[in-house]
Amino acid sequence: MHTSTSVAVAQGDAVSARLSGQLLAVLAGLAALGALSTNIILPALPRIASELNVGMREMGPVLSGFFLAFAVGQLFVGPVSDRWGRRTPVLSGLVLFIAGSLICAWAQTLSVLVVGRVVQAMGVCAASVLSRAIARDLFEGEALSRTLALTMVAMAAAPGFSPLLGSAMEYGPGWRGSFVLVALLGLLLALAYVAVVGETHSRDRRAAATFGEVLSGYAALAQDTRFIGPAFAVSVIVGGLYAFFAATPAVLMGRLGLSPLQLGLFFASTVFVVFGAGMLAPRLAHRWGAVRVGCIGCMAALAGALAMLAGGDGRNLAYFAGAVVLYLLGMGLVNPLGTAMALGPFSHQAGLASSLLGGLQMACAGGMTALASVAGSSAGLGLVLTAASMLAFAALVASGRQR
């Protein structure tokens, strides 16, 4: 093993022995903050539009502006952190996120709100990307899989809980209070990061890179089957998760007549499926191997997607919920294992690899969300998820053959 890697693992063992609970909680919080800050405002969008005197159709940039800034910003965060370390980008990003959240909280016009959302995204993308890079700095092998399982569970679970939290905020301080709440969470995470984690990318492992070298690094990763196979599998399967959150309100509220609170409770209940699968994934991988368990996850997701596709109009809540459980179970297995497989071989490029992985995820999430939203039905969502599951399976099989 390379000396610097040995040092990093030794550092990781020391940290985990003393502060495993706190360390994992901070990494999970960094991973989940972006999804939380996005989905918490979904129940409030009609009220925001009313208070700002705009139509619902004009609210699109509030979401799309966030996703675009998030996708672009994270491509720069990884290389910067590989050169200068993790601490400065993480803390600077959280400060920027807090500033953007406060801009949103006091926004009196739609344009100011959109600006605040862009600032939010430019800051929080660092937390999301570097939570994975920090895990790779400290751990490898099964320890990395376990750590990523917990952080990826948090990232996948945040969209489930945040609409329910947003609905609860509507009965109290309202949508402006939601932005103040996420700003406070950002502040708490910054303090916790300083106290618990600190710098994890040692100076002897840092490398200066020009813009051209960064682009070359991305190109090399995109052609490296050790990275691109599992990264693509994770990206399309997680893209399906975002498509599920985008299309399900039309199914459950439009066709089945659920209230916003009931919808929030439905989303929150799905978190337990993702949590259980994420906890199970490293144990199964230890016994049968990450590639095999990832392929099993793809097949479970495919079974749920096909069931949803066969369910037609989605007017049977129990049937729809069962199909969702199968898909989320498979996604919960693929996500942490595929992430560990993609980042594992690149200890000296953890930031770069994590950035490209994040960019792929956001691209797939954006495209699949748009397709599912246009379809607006259970069968349409099932079709999107079927394609995602099949593509993820093919990518993992190809990756397994290379390995």
Q: Tens of pLDDT along 23-69?
A: 888 888 898 898 888 778 877 777 888 888 887 667 778 877 887 88
CA distance 128 to 94: 11
Residue 17 is predicted with a pLDDT of: 35
Same fold, 1-140+158-200 and 218-403: yes
Residue 6 is predicted with a pLDDT of: 37
Residue 43 is predicted with a pLDDT of: 72
Residue 99 is predicted with a pLDDT of: 97
Q: Which fold has domain 218-403?
A: Growth Hormone; Chain: A; (1.20.1250)
Residue 19 is predicted with a pLDDT of: 40
The matching CATH number, chosen from 3.30.460.20, 3.30.210.10, 1.20.1250.20, 3.30.300.130, for 1-140+158-200 is 1.20.1250.20
Three-state SS for 28-55 is HHHHHHHHHHHHCCHHHHHHHHHHCCCC
* Angle, CA of 212, 215 and 219, to the nearest 5°: 135
Listed in sequence order, the residues at least 6 apart from 230 whose beta carbon sits closer than 8 Å to its beta carbon are 294, 337, 338, 339, 341, 342, 395, 396, 399
C-alpha dist (Å) from residue 394 to 199, 233, 241, 296, 344: 37, 8, 18, 12, 20
3-state secondary structure of 156: helix
Closest CA to 395 of 321, 281, 297: 297
Phi, psi of 263 (to 5 degrees): -65, -45
Is residue 238 a contact partner of residue 342, using CB atoms and an 8 Å limit?
no
| End-to-end Cα spacing for the chain | 18
What is the full per-residue pLDDT of the chain (403 aa) written as tens digits? Answer: 333 333 344 444 434 434 467 788 888 889 889 888 877 887 777 788 888 888 766 777 887 788 788 888 888 887 888 777 888 899 999 999 999 999 999 999 999 999 999 999 999 988 888 887 888 778 777 777 777 777 767 776 677 777 777 777 767 778 898 899 999 999 999 999 998 888 887 776 666 666 777 788 888 888 888 899 999 999 999 888 878 877 777 777 767 777 767 777 888 888 788 878 888 888 888 888 888 999 999 999 999 999 988 876 656 888 888 999 999 999 989 988 888 888 877 777 777 787 888 888 877 877 787 777 666 677 888 899 999 999 999 999 887 776 6
Residue 20 is predicted with a pLDDT of: 64
What residue ranges do the domains of the chain occupy?
A: 1-140+158-200, 218-403
Angle between helices 141-170 and 175-192 (to 10 degrees): 150
Torsion of CA 15, 98, 65, 246, to 10 degrees: 60
Residue 15 is predicted with a pLDDT of: 43
CA distance 239 to 141: 26
CA distance 242 to 375: 14
Residue 56 is predicted with a pLDDT of: 66
pTM over 0.75: no
Q: DSSP per residue over 375-386, as a string? A: H-SHHHHHHHHH
